[in-house]
């Protein structure tokens, strides 16, 4: 069976477009993963900072209370 040269050219062009589409899909997937990793990193950093701040706030009143309790009456 003999194929027309234009059909072979069209087939090659479609194959090339398909490969370009696959490359673009993989690039977008990688970019999305990187964005998600950055977002989660920033979120984790904020959560840790908030937890540290909360612990600092909880520790301060106790130390202030013990200082007040030791004051002469």
Residue 66 CA to residue 68 CA, distance in Å, equals 5
Per-residue pLDDT reduced to its tens digit, 12-40:
999 999 999 999 999 999 999 999 999 99
pTM, full prediction: 0.58
State residue 5's pLDDT score: 85
State mean pLDDT over 56-63: 71
3 state DSSP class of 30: helix
Residue owning tokens 């589409």: 21
């Amino acid at each position: 069976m003999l194929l027309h040269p234009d059909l072979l050219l069209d087939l090659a062009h479609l194959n090339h477009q398909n490969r370009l589409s696959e490359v673009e899909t993989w690039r977008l997937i990688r970019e999305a993963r990187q964005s998600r990793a950055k977002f989660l990193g920033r979120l984790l950093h904020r959560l840790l900072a908030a937890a540290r701040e909360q612990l600092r706030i909880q520790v301060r009143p106790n130390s202030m209370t013990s200082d007040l309790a030791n004051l002469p009456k």
